[in-house]
Amino acid sequence: MGFKIEKDVPLKKANFRTPFTQALDKLLIGDTITGLSRDEVYKYRSNFYTAHFKDRKFQFWKDATSKRYCVQRVS
């Protein structure tokens, strides 16, 4: 069995598994992700406590007007 060797192939490494964690990584202090369902917020909440996000703080709440949830970076 032979193997094909290619040189100078750029790495395509994804740092995050989901589009939500990609967006969470790009949040600046005061930025908010809106329009989430309750299930989505509780599903993604565990990402707030991972080693990658340990230096950042997030909060979430239910918006009174839209009845949807929001996630905000607070520090």
Q: How far is CA 16 from its chain centroid?
A: 8
DSSP sequence for 3-38: ----SSPPP---S-SSHHHHHHHHPPTT-EEEEE-H
pLDDT tens-digit profile of 19-49? Answer: 888 899 889 999 999 999 999 999 999 988 9
Domain residue spans of the chain: 19-73
Please report the pLDDT score of residue 18 as a whole number: 83
Please report the pLDDT score of residue 19 as a whole number: 86
For the chain, give the mean pLDDT: 87
Radius of gyration of the chain (CA): 18
Please report the pLDDT score of residue 13 as a whole number: 59
